[in-house]
Chains A and B, each alone.
Chain A
Amino acid sequence: MATNFWTSSHYKQLLDQEDVDMVNPLDKEKGITLEDFKLIKIHMANYISKLAQNVKVRQRVVATAVTYMRRVYTRKSLTEYDPRLVAPTCLYLASKAEESTVQARLLVFYIKKLYSDDKYRFEIKDILEMEMKILEALNYYLVVFHPYRSLSQLLQDAGLNDINMTQVTWGLVNDTYKMDLILVHPPHLIALACIYIASVQREKDTTVWFEELRVDMNVVKNISMEILDFYEGNRMITEDRISAALNKLGFRS
């Protein structure tokens, strides 16, 4: 939507990792741990992607929706804001903000198709009500900057813009939305971390190129480590663990 990250509200909204990792007291009472919290957010990010594939919106809309969802939970509890409703509503809101509106009834249709479970069943009016609540939780800040734009510019600059590297790094960036990186780091550093991982993996020598960029390589490497740690831990995520975490919240059962 906008062009200048450094003067944007997104830049001014970057958070510290500790703030992002704060489990809301209301959720803590229900026994939600930081691990549970992260699991639920991963699950909801996946849910948003699945829904988005069905209603056919661009990856950018997915990225914006996931960012909204993650921002909401830095301020609101899972207990009061049922993630199973927040996730599709964030997609709904992001589709409007990114100028590719998806009809609410279409979302409701695909939610039913994806989940037969009653706990996921919501009507149009639930989505519209939650839309207003999310807007307020976001304090009407809807502009989000993503790593995609810097990614293609940076790849080109590094002379790495072949199809293979583009696909690998693009996929890595998509996966970063399973973490809270977008809330903590400027998007171009996330893009650089993805290029760093891909170039190590593909044995491309980018040392000189990275040295010439005037960025803090420690931050880039830390982000890379976080992404690699995520892949490591991702193997352990099972449906059971997710259900167990969601069951602690005990909605409408």
Chain B
Amino acid sequence: MEKYEKLEKVGEGTYGKVYKAKEKATGQLVALKKTRLEMDEEGIPPTALREVSLLQMLSQSLYIVRLLSVEHVDKAMNKPLLYLVFEYLDTDLKKFIDSHRKGPNPTPLPPSLVQSFLFQLCKGVAHCHSHGVLHRDLKPQNLLLDQQKGILKIADLGLGRAFTVPLKSYTHEIVTLWYRAPEVLLGSTHYSTGVDMWSVGCIFAEMVRRQALFPGDSEFQQLLNIFRLLGTPSEEQWPGVTSLRDWHVYPRWEPQNLARAVPSLGPEGVDLLLKMLKYNPAERISAKAALDHPYFDSLDKSQF
């Protein structure tokens, strides 16, 4: 680890601290993510092994933050650590949206940028899904941006795969519920790629609105927020919903016009958003299919 000079702590990831650092030899900026290795009499835990190697495999994609190397630190007195060394990107989508909302002259995100970011996000998600990996915690904070080049990359991936999505991170910071799919909130145990697509939909809407679509502060509140906008789901719409573990009797809200929640978005964008926010996970659009949606017709795809 002497190869790197830690510059500052840039975040508390769900699974460990993240530092901005510089590789001494090259001056290249990197993000260091510390992961404790809970070694026991059976060496490196299989979960950690699988996670690191999945990450190693997935980070070959342009739309996934690149894992540059893995450093193993084993000091006699302390627990062994793995440092994951990632490429460093200067900002994330949350900060970027914030900068367009707050500050001296707030302006909407240019529609072509929203389109480009969403396309790259779908590319990255499609890549994960084609490898059988769910992200399960997609949110603006986990989407890193290279502002100059207009590039978006998915981060904080793979390390969550073996666990259930935690409510609290190890630092007891509350994990946000805003992007969580209704089937997860309702206690479904057999969820699939649709959970990520729900999050993608919420992020899409948030880029357009510059504020979260469903900002709930408890699981119950979160569900009510969703139901109030999209209507309370019915068995016809979503077979099996009323037998999910955490289903209760809810007020029967009628669906609102989604276009009004994203007033600056054109009809094709609204159509894609609706397909991402389908209640029935089986009907939700896949990342791969989303890439071919007419909303992206006006995008110059040759640049990707």
On A, residues with C-beta under 8 Å from B are 1-4, 7-9, 12, 92-93, 96-97, 99, 101, 103-104, 124, 127-128, 131-132, 135-136, 139-143
Contacts and interface: CB of A to CB of B under 8 A. Distances in A.
Most buried by B among A127, A139, A142: A142
B60 interface: yes
Nearest to A12: B60
23 contacts: A1-B50, A2-B54, A2-B57, A2-B131, A3-B131, A7-B60, A7-B61, A7-B127, A7-B131, A8-B57, A9-B60, A96-B46, A96-B50, A97-B46, A97-B53, A99-B46, A99-B50, A104-B42, A131-B43, A131-B44, A136-B72, A142-B50, A143-B53
3 closest residue pairs by CB, A with B: A142-B53, A96-B46, A128-B43
Interface of B: 41-44, 46, 49-50, 52-54, 56-57, 60-61, 69-70, 72, 74, 127, 130-132
A145 to B, nearest CB: 11
Contacts, number: 74
Contacts of A101: 42, 46
Nearest to A10: B57
A12 B60 CA distance: 9
B50 A135 contact: no
A96 B162 CA distance: 14
A8 B54 CA distance: 10
A140 B70 contact: yes
Contacts of A142: 49-50, 52-53, 56
Given A2-B131, A132-B44, 14 more contacts: A7-B130, A9-B57, A9-B60, A96-B50, A97-B50, A104-B41, A124-B41, A132-B72, A135-B49, A135-B72, A136-B72, A139-B69, A140-B53, A143-B54
A4 B132 CA distance: 9
A40 to B, nearest CB: 25
Contacts of A132: 43-44, 72, 74
Contact of B56 (A92, A127, A141): A141
A3 B42 contact: no
B157 to A, nearest CB: 14
Contacts of A97: 46, 49-50, 53
A96 B48 CA distance: 10
